Structure 1
Amino acid sequence: MTLTTPALLFPAISLLLLAYTNRFLVLAQLIRQLKQMEGEQNEQLIARQLGMLRKRILLTRGMQAFGVLSFLVCTLSMFAVFLGGQMLGVVLFGASLVLLSISLVYSLYEVVLSTNAINLELEDFEAKHRDVTL
C-alpha cells in the first residue's frame, strides 16, 4: 500500500461529513419550525414527529462521530505509511474503512426514519383533505 491509497478516501469522507452537517442543520430547522407551530397543529402528530426527530439527531451524531473517527484513523494510516510502518498503515486503513461503513449504516437508518417522518406528514395531510372532501 502506498501513501496515496488512504489519501483517496479524504475527498469522499470530507464530502460525506459536509452532507451530514447539512442533515443536522435541516433537523435543527425542523425542530425550530415544530416549536413555532406548537398549538397550531395536531398534538399527536407533533409528538410522533418529536420522537423521530430525537432518534434522527442521535443517528446524525453517530454518523458524524464515526465519519470523523474514520477520517482521523485514515490520517493515522497515512502517517504510519509515511514513517515506514506498512503493516500498521494497512491495519489502520482497514479500521478506517470499517468506521466509514458504520457511519454509512447510521446514515441509511437515518434516511429510513426521515422517510417515515415524511410519510407521517403525508398521512396527516391526506386525512385532512379526506375530511374536507366528505
Structure 2
Amino acid sequence: MEELTLTTPALLFSAISLILLAYTNRFLSYAQLVRTLKDRYEENPSAVAAAQIANLRKRLLLTRTMQELGIGSLFLCVVSMFLIYIGLQIFSAYVFGLALLLLIASLGVSLREIQISTHALELHLGTMEGKKES
C-alpha cells in the first residue's frame, strides 16, 4: 500500500462539499413541499395528500441519513489528515478507508431516495394522464 499523504483526503473535500450542498437543497425543497402539503391537507383532507406526506416523511429520513453519512465522511477525512500530520500513517489509512465507506453508503442512500422520488413522480404523471384521457 502506498503511503497516504495530506492531499489524498483533501481531494474529497470539494466532492463531499458539493454532495452535501445537493443534499441540503433537496432537503429544503422537501421541507417547502411538506409545508404546502400540510396546508392543503388541513384545508381538504384526502387519502392522496396523506400518502404524499407519508412518502415525503420517508424521503426526508433518507435525506437526513445521506447528510449524516456525508458529514461523517468529511469528518473522518479531517481526522485522517490530522493522523497523517502527527505521523500515524497506518491508522490514518484505516480512518480514510472508513471515510470512503461512509461516502459510498451516503451515495447508496441517495440512489434509493432518488428511486422513491422518481416513483412518486411517476404516480403523479399517471394520475395526470388518467385525467387527460377521461
Same fold, judged at TM 0.5 (above): yes
Counterpart-to-counterpart distance in 2, 1:123 and 1:48: 15
User: Sequence identity of aligned pairs in percent?
Assistant: 50
Structure 1 runs of 4+ off > 6 angstroms? Answer: 39-42
Contact 1:13 1:67 in 2 (8 A): yes
Name 1:78's counterpart in structure 2.
81
Counterpart-to-counterpart distance in 1, 2:83 and 2:39: 51
**3-state secondary structure, aligned to 1:2:** coil
Counterpart-to-counterpart distance in 2, 1:39 and 1:25: 21
After TM superposition, the structure 1 = structure 2 runs for residues 15-94 of structure 1, keeping only pairs within 5 Å, are: 15-38=18-41, 43-94=46-97
Superposed CA RMSD in Å reads: 1.5
Unaligned runs of 5+ in 1: none
Contact 1:31 1:53 in 2 (8 A): yes
Contact 2:41 2:50 in 1 (8 A): no
Unaligned runs of 5+ in 2: none
Contact 1:69 1:96 in 2 (8 A): yes
Q: Structure 2: which amino acid aligns with 1:125?
A: M
Name 1:13's counterpart in structure 2.
16
Contact 2:73 2:99 in 1 (8 A): yes
User: How many aligned positions are there?
Assistant: 131
Counterpart-to-counterpart distance in 2, 1:126 and 1:65: 38
Normalised to the residue count of structure 2, the TM-score between the two structures is: 0.91
Contact 1:45 1:120 in 2 (8 A): no
When structure 1 is superposed on structure 2, of 30-39 and 66-75 the one drifting more is 30-39
Match of 1:109 among 81, 87, 112: 112
CA drift of 1:39 comes to 6.6
When structure 1 is superposed on structure 2, of 36-45 and 63-72 the one drifting more is 36-45
Normalised to the residue count of structure 1, the TM-score between the two structures is: 0.91
CA drift of 1:44 comes to 2.6
